[in-house]
Structure 1
């Protein structure tokens, strides 16, 4: 099923979005949206408690794969420990395809309250 929500951009940043009150957000689904060379992770209200775990990351790696016949992406918030925080997202929650890359690009983390964190994606594999 496809859900649509509106995003108004200001370059890499999000000015506003209707995501917070959308069915995916109410279901607790994270979303990834890209614009102007950056990725933005939208954290639903029910998962705001994960923000401190993401905040310790030195960088983020994204690993793509297949799980139960679905394209998925794991976001590794690498904080230099043996057990970094990670998120497993269905790639249908991305508004565009991930390109395999070792180019560094920004990852901005948003909650309903606005921009919470800025990270750098080290690679997408």
Structure 2
């Protein structure tokens, strides 16, 4: 279990970067105060370069092959935006389905702190990958 101490939308402290999840290279998503905080493992910090330049991030919850998962689409207006898929077990909780369509803040964190921040949207889809732009829903 990953421990996260919140300070509003910020992460005040977490043991994620001392965890097996970090050492195994798994991203972790923590939610608080209208923010989705995506924690990037030390070995994957190069992903920030791929995430950089997005206009916004769409987080879609779906069930590929019957397993709950999340898709993070870093929408940059291109035909091939950067996408991250993760299982629901890589998140500390889910937003209630009543929050679908609502605006959120998406921040990307490394051991060094908050690195990127984008406006975000949350939606529930049937299956993943979805990869559709926001206007398609």
Fold conserved (TM > 0.5)? yes
Per mean C-alpha deviation after superposition, the further-off stretch among 92-101 and 14-23 is 92-101
Taking the aligned partners of 1:108 and 1:94, their CA distance within structure 2 comes to 14
With normalisation by structure 1, the TM-score equals 0.91
1:103 aligned partner: 102
Q: Is the 8 A contact 2:31 2:94 kept in 1?
A: no
Q: CA RMSD in A?
A: 1.2
> Whose strand fraction is larger, Structure 1's or Structure 2's?
1
Q: Which runs of 4+ in 1 moved over 6 A?
A: none
Q: How many pairs are equivalent?
A: 122
Aligned with residue 84 of structure 1, among 62, 81, 99: 81
Please show how residues 1-125 of structure 1 align to structure 2 within 5 Å: 4-100=1-97, 101-125=100-124
> Secondary structure at 2:63's aligned position in 1?
strand
Change (3 A) 1:64 1:5: closer
Q: Deviation string for 1:30-55 (max 9, x for gaps)? A: 01001111110000111100101111
Shift of 1:22: 0.2
**Which runs of 5 or more residues in structure 1 are unaligned?**
none
With normalisation by structure 2, the TM-score equals 0.84
